[in-house]
Structure 1
Amino acid sequence: MATKRQVEFLSKGVKVRGDLVVPDGAGPFPLLVMGGGWCYVKEIVMPHYAKAIVEKGVAVLMFDYRCMGASEGTPRQHIDPAAQVEDYKSAITFGETLKEIDPGRIGVWGISYAGGHVLIVGATDPRVKCVISNIPVVDGYENMRRVHGSQRFHQLNELILADRRERTKGATAGGRMPMSSLKPFEELSTWPFPSIHTIFHDIKGREAPRHEHWSTIESTELMMSYDVGPFAKRLYNTPTLMIVAEGDEITLWDLEIGVFNSIPSPHKRLVVLPKVSHMSLYSKQDDLAIAGRLAAEFAAEQLGAAR
């Protein structure tokens, strides 16, 4: 049977915590480093994907970003994409030190916001031997503009500007805003989809009690400057799998496919899952199983797993 243990490591001096799951048998094993998306803790979705990956003979390191879940760091629920990319690289560095792990066979996996992060990590860290990107955020500004619509996007920008003024005046972390809302036309949230609110609160009740459904307002401001495109063009030879949900209106499948097409690596693969929504890759076991199998097979192939 696979063995699982809690681990911790430092990322720019902040203690980050996660779970290491190692397949049974003799190592050293290849490793897939796994991070989550907006407001995620490692219990959201990642263990379900990890099971399929470990069964293919690849160890996984699932971690909570700084300021989130079991990890340390303040302000809490602050989502800084540059810091989260740094946490991925720190996780890779930690993985290199483990006796069970082959440091020459490490890949990265991410979903939603982290689906974009792993493209950046793969482009900027030569230790990454494969990238698995699920339903990624690739252009934060365009994503926010389209999901909110012109009038609400203007209101979102006004909120962000007011928060910036307050942070500067008071030297504080600023205000907070919901991840999503059941009443998106009455309450501003980062992701204005009632389905996100319903599904994530269900997951929180069942298996992810550390999930908090809010972030700092500055987190959304930081996402407005987030653009994966320039990094994707630097994935010259890194094997890359991108999994896209057909018609995804949350992270925008047309933008995702555009970024995939810009990747110059000849070792890339795009899978568009038909009749699958963004949120079904969290909530529907059949859809999650398909994406998990694709990731496991790609990781095993690219990282040279024995199974």
Structure 2
Amino acid sequence: MPVTALRLGTRASALALAQARAVAALLDVECELVEITTAGDVDRARGDKSRWVGALEQALLAGDIDLAVHSAKDVPGALADGTVIAATPRRANPVDVLVGDVSLAAVREGARVGTSALRRRAQVLAARPDVSVVELRGNVDTRLAKRAAGEVDVLVLAAAGLERLHRDGGRHLDFVPAPGQGVIAVQARAGSAAADAARAADHPGTHVCLDEERAAVRLLGASCNTPVGVLARRVGDGLVVCGFAGLPDGSAWLVDQAGSGEALARRMLAAGAAELLREAEAIA
């Protein structure tokens, strides 16, 4: 029987709901949004990515929802058994942006730069070792409010989140973004009618790029405690996949690019990425 309605599981943050609504608008059936609280919503302390998706995966496997909608950058390299990423809508702007000044170079010496991401910390300090990076957690609006209250001087945020919430954008940073940044991942039970229905929301070019980024992360053995960035882009008929790995204090890093995620990871590993990431994990 054809699917006539779908239950979309989502976190309850403003950004997560905006993403789920965007997916619903692309599907050809009636959709109900089911809000689910994840471990990451309860405790934002640093930890494994499964904190953000585990409860959604459990609801999916239990049949309480038909599809789970995630920020792709939060999805661990290994999905729950029996599930697939059935769709990835067209990618939003994947870059990081600076909120509060015209450029990172213009930020005053000793300024407080707010971010919760080790990857962003590493790239900020690699470029500006004279600033102070402050761990700043919370959703997009919470972080913007903390800057407005003077807790930090500037913020580093994802352009995609600002755009999806219709907030004023920042200034583009020449950072390698997180794997999957700007991508919405729609997870389904493998072989289900819901998985077939979800493909109406899929953008094949985005899906290919996400697959390459996730392949690079798996081969690198990266975790939430390793500062790694990967971005795949279509260039002509092929792909260019860029990567970053570094130490959280910005004292050492490497960047590279290749024509696939696996080729990138192999090049980075040959250049010493494994040792760099082991040291980063120990520091974190």
Smaller-chain TM-score bracket: 0.3 to 0.5
TM-score (norm 2): 0.37
Higher helix share: 1
